[in-house]
Structure 1
């Protein structure tokens, strides 16, 4: 698996904001669940199953999504969405205590299922004090909110209720999808956002707003979202412009990646330095959806780990350390 022999580019605490729970499952876990449920798989070897689920060369977003068909039927049980959210949050709390990290969930709507979105935002509201920190929207970017108003209504309710918002946009879709995410859905962060660079006016507006981009280097290569030549990646422009962004794995099972792999890629092909790694992680912490006090505690942990002087606080807009998990309430 990835990361066993990779050179560690940044051996310090990191903040990851964009990683899908259904794309992080260990092959061993899939096999265990399949055995308990009496579900036959094409192999009983964890290594062979991992290879079956992986994308190993640049493909398309459709080919990427097809990889989930190998195992989603195993983990999609008979639980209600409410039960799933509750159990995931319990698991994340246990992980927080065991590994001394921050781990929270984001509930994700799907563009092709607008009739789900109101239920998703209601779950966000119900579990906002138990681990859920935001709502998201992912899927086919050609399906806009004008044709599918269910998403707009759900995100309007999120705004009214004070639920944080992030949206997958500009990964393979045009800049207009990013514009819709910001102006219609009131997104506070953009998942991926690479195509924003094709609209200079929009990009400059988002730079001024300090919009956060959740960048996924290995993912963007293997889904065909970006040029497979990392030296031409949009992230380089983000870095040059001092944009607000984070580095993320997206779906480590499918892309056979780890944070160390993605950080190594940016160091090797994009000339990232330790100074830039520190800057992007501080910005990621500030852009996280943690409660303000936890954000401050997280930022202070980062400043200590990085040997940086803690800046004077101005009205409480400082932030925190480690991992937030994006959870899908669906299977594709």
Structure 2
């Protein structure tokens, strides 16, 4: 076993495929946006990201979900999004997200955005998406990492509004908008796969990729639904797949990746009491294509290289295993084939 250092983890050629734009606002970003908007803060400035002051929730099985809780966190994201009201602010948000990724050694990122959190942009979805991806484009021209956008539905929205989102994506023809996603509170929304199946089918038929947040606060059955009804090519989280051996086999046989966010699972929703008890290693050993991601890095105070180091230490990973995880991140991404190959070639010659 070789100990992975922070510098090695940063230098490692890799992708990130489970990252929310809403989770990329640093504390200073939010305070300055609130000042510019003349909007009140939801709590003391110095402790906006302190989850200890928020309500503890529970999942349907009664398991504790400590910290901020999904419902409270989604309300916080709504407040964040309400502060962003101009094209320039969205452009900067996209540019800064790409810069954040590049600072962690990421070569390519699929970044998720959920328009329902950005209240000022209701009815202006195309301009909203163009402003963000214009920021991505400028970042790439300045030598930062390549980025694409996954447009996410919210579980609480209607099937009709979901179809309208996909139709706008189709009509707009924005090159860096590559996928349809869905996220939100699984615990309270229940099984929504059937409701959103028409939207995901339309997206598939139009050539968009599909990724689904599931199998975190909900169990394995929700992952089955995402695969069968939403045509999911990738599962965001999906950690509770480990509870169903048949599902694990399905994921392995079809090579459906799980985009896992270890610290988010442990320190965010407390799905697992410690990293050592997280199933990422058991899933990897079973042959599932797993990758490491940050989810919402700013409010969770996490960097991607930290997660690589922490997991390598917790599970005794060799450098070769770490490179395997990095390759998984690239292969699971929605990057163009040429970009994937370029990163994989760089990874192949990487020496720690």
TM-score category of the 2 structures, normalised to the smaller one: 0.7 to 0.9
Q: CA deviation at 1:32?
A: 2.3
TM-score by length of 1: 0.81
Equivalent position to 1:98, from 139, 142, 162: 142
> Runs in 1 of length 4+ with deviation above 6 angstroms?
none
Relative contact order (alpha carbons < 8 A, sep ≥ 6): 1 or 2 greater? Answer: 1
TM-score by length of 2: 0.77
Q: CA deviation at 1:182?
A: 0.4
Q: CA deviation at 1:239?
A: 2.4
1:134 maps to 2:179: yes
Equivalent-residue separation in structure 2 for 1:24 and 1:225 (angstroms): 21
- Aligned to 1:121, what secondary structure does the other structure show? helix
Equivalent-residue separation in structure 1 for 2:308 and 2:172 (angstroms): 33
Equivalent position to 1:242, from 287, 292, 307: 287
Contact 2:292 2:307 in 1 (8 A): yes
- Aligned to 1:41, what secondary structure does the other structure show? coil
Q: CA deviation at 1:257?
A: 0.7
- Aligned to 1:107, what secondary structure does the other structure show? strand
**2:227 aligns to what?**
182
**1:28 aligns to what?**
28
1:78 maps to 2:120: yes
**1:277 aligns to what?**
322
- Aligned to 2:19, what secondary structure does the other structure show? coil
Q: CA deviation at 1:197?
A: 1.1
1:302 maps to 2:347: yes
- Aligned to 1:39, what secondary structure does the other structure show? coil
Equivalent position to 1:61, from 66, 70, 83: 70
Equivalent-residue separation in structure 1 for 2:71 and 2:319 (angstroms): 35
1:113 maps to 2:157: yes
**1:263 aligns to what?**
308
Q: 1:109 to 1:24 in 2, by over 3 A?
A: same
Q: 1:91 to 1:36 in 2, by over 3 A?
A: same
Equivalent-residue separation in structure 2 for 1:198 and 1:42 (angstroms): 38
Equivalent position to 1:143, from 190, 195, 200: 190
Task: List alignment gaps of at least 5 residues for structure 2.
Answer: 54-65, 85-117
Q: 1:195 to 1:225 in 2, by over 3 A?
A: farther
Greater helix fraction, Structure 1 or Structure 2:
2
Q: Deviations over 1:200-253 (max 9, x none)?
A: 111111111111000001100123352121111010202222321111000012
Q: Deviations over 1:65-93 (max 9, x none)?
A: 34435533323463312111000000111
How many residues align? The count is: 296
**1:221 aligns to what?**
266
- Aligned to 2:223, what secondary structure does the other structure show? helix
Contact 2:151 2:179 in 1 (8 A): yes
- Aligned to 2:334, what secondary structure does the other structure show? coil
Give the aligned CA root-mean-square deviation in angstroms: 2.5
Q: CA deviation at 1:291?
A: 2.4
Q: 1:53 to 1:119 in 2, by over 3 A?
A: farther
Task: List alignment gaps of at least 5 residues for structure 1.
Answer: 1-5, 309-332
